[in-house]
């Protein structure tokens, strides 16, 4: 199971690298700002979807006895015989899909199936705010609903201390962060999920 878990991380990091490279290239092409923003949004969305996939795939593999890179398996409260059965257990009766976009929900789920919620709880608990903010941005890109727009605007007000007229997810992601002007929000968020993913796999 170690190999398959490592492959799950490799797939996430491939997408993170691909998204970074795409944004770097398009920023130097002299495209209109609106086009750059749209491409940045799509690159971010693909990276976040890869993160959701990483959480789901690693969770299922740990549930059937997959090992951390240290060689230890997380202590499980259930013992499904295969990946298919593990998936059905997590889904529960009558469900075809559960979300992996909320860090708080993943932590709560991990506490149901693994002792002390590990290896997910410690890896995610310090990043809950950032990952939930990423989810707000994701939803604003993927959904044009009034709710997603309102939540995104509320997030912008919290982040900057005031509303910003005409702010789009792409425009925000290209801004440099308040805490570190040397990196934009796009790069900052990709570091967050990469770091958390590595802790989930390589936790001692």
Check residue 48 and give its pLDDT.
98
pTM above 0.85, yes or no: yes
Instruction: Give the best-scoring range by mean pLDDT among 97-101, 104-108, 164-168.
Output: 104-108
Q: What is the mean pLDDT of residues 70-92?
A: 90
pLDDT digits (tens, 9 = 90+) for 132-186: 999 999 999 998 889 999 999 999 999 988 878 889 999 999 999 988 888 999 9
Check residue 78 and give its pLDDT.
94
Q: How many CA atoms lie within 13 Å of 74's alpha carbon, on the beta-carbon side?
A: 30
Q: What is the mean pLDDT of residues 48-74?
A: 93
DSSP character for 88?
Answer: H
- CA angle 62-68-74, nearest 5°? 50
Mean pLDDT of the chain: 92
């Amino acid at each position: 199971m170690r190999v398959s878990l490592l492959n799950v991380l490799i797939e996430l990091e491939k997408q993170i690298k691909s998204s970074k490279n795409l944004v770097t290239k398009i920023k130097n092409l002299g495209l209109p700002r609106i086009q750059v923003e749209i491409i940045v949004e799509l690159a971010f969305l693909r990276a976040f979807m890869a993160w959701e996939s990483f959480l789901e795939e690693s969770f299922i593999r740990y549930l059937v006895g997959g090992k951390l890179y240290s060689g230890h398996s997380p202590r499980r409260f259930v013992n499904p015989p295969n990946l298919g059965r593990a998936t059905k257990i997590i889904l529960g009766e009558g469900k075809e899909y559960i979300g992996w976009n909320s860090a708080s929900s993943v932590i709560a789920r991990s506490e149901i199936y693994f002792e002390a919620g590990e290896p997910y709880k410690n890896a995610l608990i310090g990043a809950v705010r950032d990952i939930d903010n990423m989810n707000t941005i994701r939803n604003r890109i993927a959904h044009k609903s009034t709710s997603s727009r309102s939540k995104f605007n509320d997030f912008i007000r919290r982040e900057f201390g005031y509303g910003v007229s005409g702010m789009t997810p792409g425009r925000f992601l290209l801004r440099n962060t308040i805490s570190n002007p040397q990196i934009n929000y796009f790069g900052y968020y990709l570091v967050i999920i990469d770091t958390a993913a590595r802790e989930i796999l390589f936790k001692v």
